[in-house]
Amino acid sequence: MKREFPPGNLRNIGIMAHIDAGKTTVSERMLFFTGKTHRLGEVHDGRAVMDWMDQEQERGITITSAATTFVWRGHMVNLIDTPGHVDFTVEVERSLRILDGAVALFCAAGGVQPQSETVWRQAEKYSVPRIAFVNKMDRLGADFYGVVRAIRGELGANAVPVVIPIGHEDSFRGIVDLVKGCAVYYSREDSGLTWREEPVPAEMIPDYERWRSSLVEHASEVDEHLFDKFFAGEEITGEELTAALRKATRAGTICPVLCGSAYRNIGVQRLLDALVDYLPCPSDLPPVEGRGPGGSVEERRPDDDETMSALAFKVVTDRHVGKLVYVRVYSGSLQAGSNVYNSTKDCMQRAGRILRMHADKRENIDALFTGEIGAVIGLSETSTGDTLCIRENPLILHSMDFSTPVLSMAVAPGRVSDRERLAEALSKLADEDPTFTVAMDSDTSETIISGMGELHLEILVERLKREFALDVATSAPRVAYRETITTPVEIDERLVKQTGGRGQFAHIVMRLEPLASRHGFEFENRVQGGSIPREYIPSVEKGIADAMERGALADHPVIGVRAILLDGSFHEVDSSDMAFRRCASEGFRRAFMKAGPQLLEPLMDVTVTTPEEYSGPVAGTVYSKRGGITSMGRQSNAQVLRALIPLAELFGYATELRNISQGRASFTMRFERYEPVPAQVSKIILKELQSRSRTRS
């Protein structure tokens, strides 16, 4: 079983950018010019091949990363088109973990935008070599050189143009190739589908010479031979320059910059050439590292003859074939029908069919070899981040880090009979997406789903309706309030029931006191002289605990109370454990309402990271949410603000924060403690709770 393309002729590439920079349009042009498709798919008319989900076609945005394969100049390219919306940044994260190179797209008018920064840092995290493509050069306000300066200044990258534009905005008609030393003009009659190469126009020769000199100077820094020729003033060929640029790009010391207009079919072929010329192949990479038995660090060389190791980086529920697990093979080969060892889960599984994906289309293949990417059917126990290998030579590859969900909502089936189907569907979606979590709130009995933002959750709810045919209702989750007391109170409670035969008798005198910590429950027995037999004391404590599960104020659990049993009496025949438990429970409820009952709310410790220029508006949001700032500091070039904010005020905060900071601020939160709800707010909450209670009854 031989591989079709040697490792040196393989490229694993991703396209990443801010939303609406033109990633999918660039991908569609690549597919067209490489002969993978025979028509030009457009995002705006819902015909893009890579945006295959219904929601993507309707909204005109990429939601899930789509993989495809094409051939250019004898090289097989595995291409992943990633989303640009911040809510789906997990798709970028897991794609970059397994890719060897990336194309960073920038809008010629928008430049370096918020999500551009995010995906760039993600690529840096995994040391992924990048080339940049300045798209939409025909757009009003296009500024190629301004974008190059922004990449250098805002991203700290050594951005070096390998082409420069001929004209801009409406006059944009081609590029000057600095490596080959020619001008490339694209025909307007057939919308750029044909082009011609000519000598550099006379009016652009000064710009050409300046930028080519800069290119050669930067490239010579990593190539001694080129360095000697450069300072000797000798002519440097395009082949020598390409080789040096490839070396520098792989080392991450240079980011080659190209430009064009994908929609007008300008510059895409040069970008395809750059993928092959500058970005690395699997055999260029160092051995992959992982954790062996006992925690030892082990390596696997990128070689077909090495022991098999692969990483599952994405899970998809396909309506036709079931669970699809996307994998990247780092060493050896993964054969269809073979048994593999999931070292992360410590279980054996059978790899059934192996597929090469083209968006939502599938092609059966016999095996995946070193460096190749594909999807496997049959790995029912495998999740995102799991390692597949050989049991006799186990290895656990480094997985991925995923952001914590920041927004939640409650979801319920439209029909009670669909409860199990909903649970199964949510489990499948959570298996696909590590930033989507499902939990049951024990206080409210609601199913709570959490994700990265409003759009993220909205898409998931739509998928429940369309893919799983579920009628679901959603609402904001209810805050898990608590109740407590504010003043001590003493009560004398007596239970006397006689209905013929043996009756029920219990008598207790107890005192309730608030705990300063507003946390937990304490029980103290001060009964003397045997007025209540010792065997009934635990029943009194259990009765109080029963009553604390649902407070008398608003049916929320009670905390922060000390109960002191002072005295009581019993009947030799009619007293029992059940009688004292019931007496204590009823007595507690009665005493609770006399002890200044108070509603408590969870207070969250919130950390906001924001660029300096937005720190003022961000601080304003804290105070508008009944919060208080506890500290402010700096982290790199960002402002870090810590605050205490009630959880009830934080629903939708992720979206609000993005709006005021152009998507550049983020926050994390954790539970700190319970605090009293202000009187005016408490009245509103209690009114809503009482109304809801009447509706249920």
Is the model more confident about 384 or about 403?
Answer: 384
Q: CA 669 to CA 677: how far, in whole Å?
A: 19
Report pLDDT digits (tens) over 421-434.
Answer: 999 999 988 888 88
Q: What's the whole-number mean pLDDT along residues 387-413?
A: 85
**Residue 296: which residues within 8 A CB-CB, separation 6 or more?**
none
The DSSP code for 558 is B
State residue 86's pLDDT score.
61
Tell me: pLDDT of 675 over 70.
yes
Residue 609 β-bridge partners: 640, 666
Q: What's the whole-number mean pLDDT along residues 126-141?
A: 94
Give the C-alpha distances (Å, rounded to integers) separating 514 from 98, 521, 599, 672. Answer: 56, 10, 13, 20
Q: What's the whole-number mean pLDDT along residues 163-181?
A: 93
Write out the DSSP string of 639-664: EEEEEEEEGGG-TTHHHHHHHHHTT-
**Residue 111: which residues within 8 A CB-CB, separation 6 or more?**
143, 146, 147, 150
Mean pLDDT score of the chain: 86
Quickly tell me which residue has 């495809």 as its tokens.
68
State residue 51's pLDDT score.
46
Pairing between strand 322-331 and 309-318? antiparallel
HSE-up of residue 231 (Cα within 13 Å, Cβ side): 8
State residue 697's pLDDT score.
47
Residues of the chain with pLDDT > 70, as a percent, come to 91
Alpha helices in 264-372 (DSSP H): 268-278
HSE-up of residue 577 (Cα within 13 Å, Cβ side): 5
pLDDT band of residue 41 (cuts 50, 70, 90) is: low
Q: What's the whole-number mean pLDDT along residues 136-156?
A: 93
State residue 439's pLDDT score.
84
Q: Kindly provide the b/e burial profile for residues 321-354, where b requires at least 16 CB atoms within 10 angstroms of the residue's own CB.
A: eebbbbbbbbbbbbbbeeebbbbbeeeebebbbb
Q: Kindly provide the b/e burial profile for residues 413-447, where b requires at least 16 CB atoms within 10 angstroms of the residue's own CB.
A: beeeebeeebeebbebbbbbbbbbebeeeeeeebb
Q: Cβ atoms within 10 A of the Cβ of 305, count?
A: 9
Q: CA 413 to CA 419: how far, in whole Å?
A: 6
State residue 360's pLDDT score.
65
State residue 40's pLDDT score.
63
State residue 484's pLDDT score.
94
Is the model more confident about 680 or about 340?
Answer: 340
Report pLDDT digits (tens) over 77-96.
Answer: 999 877 756 667 777 888 88
**Residue 667: which residues within 8 A CB-CB, separation 6 or more?**
406, 606, 607, 608, 609, 653, 654, 657
Tell me: pLDDT of 494 over 50.
yes
Report pLDDT digits (tens) over 534-574.
Answer: 999 999 999 999 999 888 888 888 999 999 999 999 998 88
| Residues in the chain, total | 697
Name, of 45-54, 134-143, 286-295, 353-362, the range with top average pLDDT.
Answer: 134-143
State residue 46's pLDDT score.
46
- At residue 564, the 3 state secondary structure works out as strand
Q: CA 517 to CA 511: how far, in whole Å?
A: 18
Report pLDDT digits (tens) over 11-21.
Answer: 999 998 877 78
Report pLDDT digits (tens) over 200-232.
Answer: 999 999 999 999 999 998 888 888 888 888 778
pLDDT band of residue 44 (cuts 50, 70, 90) is: very low
Q: What's the whole-number mean pLDDT along residues 488-516?
A: 89
Q: CA 2 to CA 4: how far, in whole Å?
A: 6
State residue 55's pLDDT score.
52
Quickly tell me which residue has 């249920």 as its tokens.
696
State residue 689's pLDDT score.
67
Name, of 12-21, 25-34, 340-349, 659-668, the range with top average pLDDT.
Answer: 340-349
State residue 21's pLDDT score.
83
Q: CA 132 to CA 152: how far, in whole Å?
A: 12
Structure tokens at 584: 């204590």
Report pLDDT digits (tens) over 303-357.
Answer: 999 999 999 998 887 777 778 899 999 999 999 999 999 999 999 999 999 998 8
